Chain A
């Protein structure tokens, strides 16, 4: 039994949780913890340049490894700067533990220097949070934070530690949870009844589709293996959400492409026309459903999820199966094997023929140009030239993100990091650095837009400090492309504030941070630039000047249904967008 200061207890608890890396930024209210960090060698601290980036980096680290990402920041502005990151982690179910310093307990509530009620502020954007006012409860709070962050549906947890608590002493008794947490046991085992019902639904259907989400990735690679088995047993088609890409290999013929607002024609049409939809760890988000009242009107729906609050939230389903996806999928596979249920190809021939007709529309086609680089072309070349290296891809938010989802192929889980739920511009660069820290030898590429990249561009400095070979692939179209696209389609082409004036010279910017800058302007030069980028050992910013007017298709306009897609620039929105549709985001 060791009598330790609070600061030492923090370090000791992190070591017990097997934490190797933390992302942080020091300040007055966490100095005792930074002092303890200085005295030890087990935990590596990565100094970011802004606390929001610390959380995104921790998210990238967590999503590419399956471990908990850890953040350390000071009180007040240090803590409030993490709010966007924490909300992002909350929306995308990423396990993150954020430790924040706080003014000493006797000054809380006095509007002290660098005081913010961060527990109050982050209550709705964390899975749980703690304010530790008693040093004997510090270790319990930290261990409970890790437990909560990774168990059940993962999410961010914040632990706020006043400065005096960091200096008081207590006995550290090892990895113990707080007493109160002992009843928090998210149930992982599905009901056997539900498994039986589900297999019956599967064998009864004629036009089935699997709709796969990020929950499969969160459940671990074993879940992907079971999913693959089930896909092969049934031979059913599947689609994946933005968060789910890579849970099932995208190169497989059973994969119809991503679904939703910028999903493929075949995926959305199959969702609309199916007679059975099996939702595996997705949540019927509004980007997926379009107009809810017209969403897949004639299908039975099964929903598998670990979180009961995801059931019947926006879409009513016929069967819910609650539990860990790996366990559910394994039980279903076992049941199918035991009962010798077969899924004869002939039963689904008609369905597959229909799907092939939709596929033949080749909805991702675009007009190639000899003069201008099409963003789709740049990404297709990036994909072809890097796929053997099995790269980790992160993105910012906007058109480039949707094109990356459409044109880059992920055949393994945990290689695709993007801000799905919150849609945080500025996510990609810090996330990429977090991924690179976790996978120092692998190729990590941030597919970015010239607008998004500027939101956390300061992280180039972090990348320089730790000599991280992160590649930034900017599709530079001089616009906030997605904003401009909506203004074109829905607001009479009045391009209000969406033109990116006064952009930096990205080549010089890269050089000023000790990285290599490349600029490509002609389609013929794309291949060489990509090859050069991946051959350079250090960080690279590759500024790809693309067609400024290209729009992202297919697109389901707001307030429309899956069968009302726009497939290209020549498709017009039918009639006026309804008032109901106009107010949707």
Chain B
């Protein structure tokens, strides 16, 4: 029973109807499961389907139970444990507002460009930077900015899909 906790990325296709997110989140809180990140948005406006990506962790027993419980929810059409597939991509989005003095701007612009981040807005003392990457890459970007004054930042949950033919059915 002393199995290790492992991280799992669950991709869930659900009916986009009122209360559906409450059903999914309520299942996690009610049964004491972890949600490390959550992201949800409509992906099919004709069939009214939303795709939920949840990053969770637990022993195999727990994660199997989470999947079985999710599968019982009536609005859940399909569920894929993306992290169990051979190859997949997982990205998060970060927006950072930086306080930058004029003399430091060129140097920082260069650094950000090299990293692949985009400056969405530049004003007198401010940059708003956008970057999409794996959670590790985003952590790297935050490290890169450690000598810059970060005014605020916001990160999305992970969105993820498998490569090749392992796609989630509707």
Asked whether B74 lies within 8 Å of A309 as measured between CB atoms, the reply is: no
Complex interface residues of chain B between 65 and 91 (CB less than 8 A to chain A): 65, 68-69, 71-72, 74-75, 77
Given contacts A183-B77, A293-B1, contact A312 B26 (CB under 8 A): no
Asked whether A128 lies within 8 Å of B1 as measured between CB atoms, the reply is: no
Judged by a CB distance under 8 angstroms, whether B64 is at the interface is yes
Q: Is the interface of B mostly helix, strand, loop or mixed?
A: helix
Asked whether B23 lies within 8 Å of A131 as measured between CB atoms, the reply is: no
Judged by a CB distance under 8 angstroms, whether A307 is at the interface is yes
- CB-defined contacts of A308 to chain B, threshold 8 Å: 68, 71
Asked whether A128 lies within 8 Å of B64 as measured between CB atoms, the reply is: no
- Cα distance, A388 to B16, chains bound together (Å): 55
Given contacts A123-B23, A180-B15, A183-B77, contact A312 B61 (CB under 8 A): yes
Asked whether A123 lies within 8 Å of B61 as measured between CB atoms, the reply is: no
- CB-defined contacts of A77 to chain B, threshold 8 Å: none
Report B33 CB to chain A, min CB distance, Å.
13
Asked whether A128 lies within 8 Å of B68 as measured between CB atoms, the reply is: no
- Cα distance, A313 to B77, chains bound together (Å): 22
Asked whether A124 lies within 8 Å of B26 as measured between CB atoms, the reply is: yes
- Cα distance, A308 to B66, chains bound together (Å): 11
Judged by a CB distance under 8 angstroms, whether A181 is at the interface is yes
- Cα distance, A176 to B72, chains bound together (Å): 22
Choose among A181, A293, A307, A316 the residue that contacts B74 (Cβ–Cβ < 8 A).
A181
Given contacts A123-B19, A309-B65, contact A128 B30 (CB under 8 A): no
- Cα distance, A316 to B17, chains bound together (Å): 36
Asked whether A180 lies within 8 Å of B75 as measured between CB atoms, the reply is: yes
Judged by a CB distance under 8 angstroms, whether B22 is at the interface is yes
Question: How many chain A residues touch the partner (CB < 8 A)?
Answer: 20
Q: Fill in one digit per residue for B10-50: 1 if any A CB lies within 8 Å of its CB, else 0.
A: 00000101110011001100100000000000000000000
Report A185 CB to chain B, min CB distance, Å.
12
Question: How many chain B residues touch the partner (CB < 8 A)?
Answer: 20
Report A79 CB to chain B, min CB distance, Å.
16
Asked whether A120 lies within 8 Å of B22 as measured between CB atoms, the reply is: yes
- Cα distance, A183 to B71, chains bound together (Å): 12
Judged by a CB distance under 8 angstroms, whether A311 is at the interface is yes
Judged by a CB distance under 8 angstroms, whether A540 is at the interface is no
Report A174 CB to chain B, min CB distance, Å.
22
Report A517 CB to chain B, min CB distance, Å.
44
Q: Fill in one digit per residue for A312-342: 1 if any B CB lies within 8 Å of its CB, else 0.
A: 1100100000000000000000000000000
Judged by a CB distance under 8 angstroms, whether A225 is at the interface is no
- CB-defined contacts of A131 to chain B, threshold 8 Å: 18-19
Judged by a CB distance under 8 angstroms, whether A148 is at the interface is yes
- Cα distance, A309 to B27, chains bound together (Å): 13
Report B55 CB to chain A, min CB distance, Å.
21
- Nearest-neighbor residue (CB-CB) of A157 within chain B: B74
Given contacts A123-B19, A184-B74, contact A309 B69 (CB under 8 A): yes
Asked whether A124 lies within 8 Å of B30 as measured between CB atoms, the reply is: yes
Asked whether A123 lies within 8 Å of B74 as measured between CB atoms, the reply is: no
Judged by a CB distance under 8 angstroms, whether A188 is at the interface is no
- Cα distance, A180 to B170, chains bound together (Å): 12
Asked whether A123 lies within 8 Å of B22 as measured between CB atoms, the reply is: yes
Judged by a CB distance under 8 angstroms, whether A119 is at the interface is yes
- CB-defined contacts of A181 to chain B, threshold 8 Å: 74
- Cα distance, A301 to B152, chains bound together (Å): 55
Report B56 CB to chain A, min CB distance, Å.
16
- CB-defined contacts of B64 to chain A, threshold 8 Å: 311-312
29 sample A-B contacts, Cβ–Cβ < 8 Å, listed by A number: A120-B22, A123-B19, A123-B22, A123-B23, A123-B26, A124-B26, A124-B27, A124-B30, A127-B74, A131-B18, A131-B19, A148-B74, A180-B15, A180-B17, A181-B74, A183-B77, A184-B74, A307-B72, A308-B68, A308-B71, A309-B65, A309-B69, A309-B72, A311-B64, A311-B68, A312-B61, A312-B65, A313-B65, A316-B61
Q: Which residues of A contact B (CB under 8 A)?
A: 119-120, 123-124, 127-128, 131, 148, 180-181, 183-184, 293, 307-309, 311-313, 316
